A and B are shown apart, each in its own frame.
Chain A
Amino acid sequence: DQQVKQNSPSLSVQEGRISILNCDYTNSMFDYFLWYKKYPAEGPTFLISISSIKDKNEDGRFTVFLNKSAKHLSLHIVPSQPGDSAVYFCAARDKAAGNKLTFGGGTRVLVKP
């Protein structure tokens, strides 16, 4: 049973446009949500996070939205740049399970120049 799901395996967007990545979860005990970015042959790196007590967090071109009632979060990248081409993972923490994170399957983003 996948507690964190990213239903879109890939996304292609034109440079300068908005990229919207979606993530759904099932565990109502998740209290922290994060997005990680991964380039080929590298480890995932932290991008942005949001606490379950908030509904929006913004950091430069990246904004994460959380809809707790729908158990859904999204990552907006605007404007998208070619360097944003990577795999993006959604992750969530269950506060009762220590620091471990449960990851989604990832979404591969391609930003076309």
Chain B
Amino acid sequence: DAGVIQSPRHEVTEMGQEVTLRCKPISGHDYLFWYRQTMMRGLELLIYFNNNVPIDDSGMPEDRFSAKMPNASFSTLKIQPSEPRDSAVYFCASSLGTAFTGELFFGEGSRLTVL
């Protein structure tokens, strides 16, 4: 079975440019999460969706960040305009709420470098 699929795996961009990260969750999963990993803060939750509806976006750093989930099989995380401090690895994860054992299934991550 396919796991969580993220694209791109690597992105290098210049400050001020728009960045869009993409995620395809595991089919049938009703929760989707966006996490960011940095050396300073570890894994921090940015936003999560349940049945395509944003539930908690309190972790989104500022208005430059936005996330959407137009359908059950696709989500995007957009940064506009990007800044060097946004450089990090961004992970998407999904889970099945009705069978919760706490386990999230993570994608391989998108490494973003903003110059």
Contacts and interface: CB of A to CB of B under 8 A. Distances in A.
A45 interface: yes
Interface residues of B, number: 27
A98 B53 CA distance: 13
Interface in B97-115: 97, 100-109
B48 A43 contact: no
Tell which of A44, A98, A99 has the most Cβ of chain B within 10 Å. Answer: A99
B101 A49 contact: yes
Interface stretch (B12-20, B37-45, B61-69): B37-45
Main secondary structure of the interface of B (DSSP, over half): strand
B4 A97 contact: no
A89 B42 contact: yes
Given A42-B108, A98-B31, A98-B97, A93 B43 contact: no
A38 to B, nearest CB: 9
A91 interface: yes
Range class of the A interface residue count: 20 to 34
A105 B36 CA distance: 12
Interface string B50-63: 10000110000000
B69 to A, nearest CB: 15
B31 A99 contact: yes
A61 interface: no
Given A44-B91, A103-B44, A106-B42, 8 more contacts: A43-B4, A46-B105, A89-B42, A97-B56, A98-B31, A98-B50, A99-B104, A105-B42
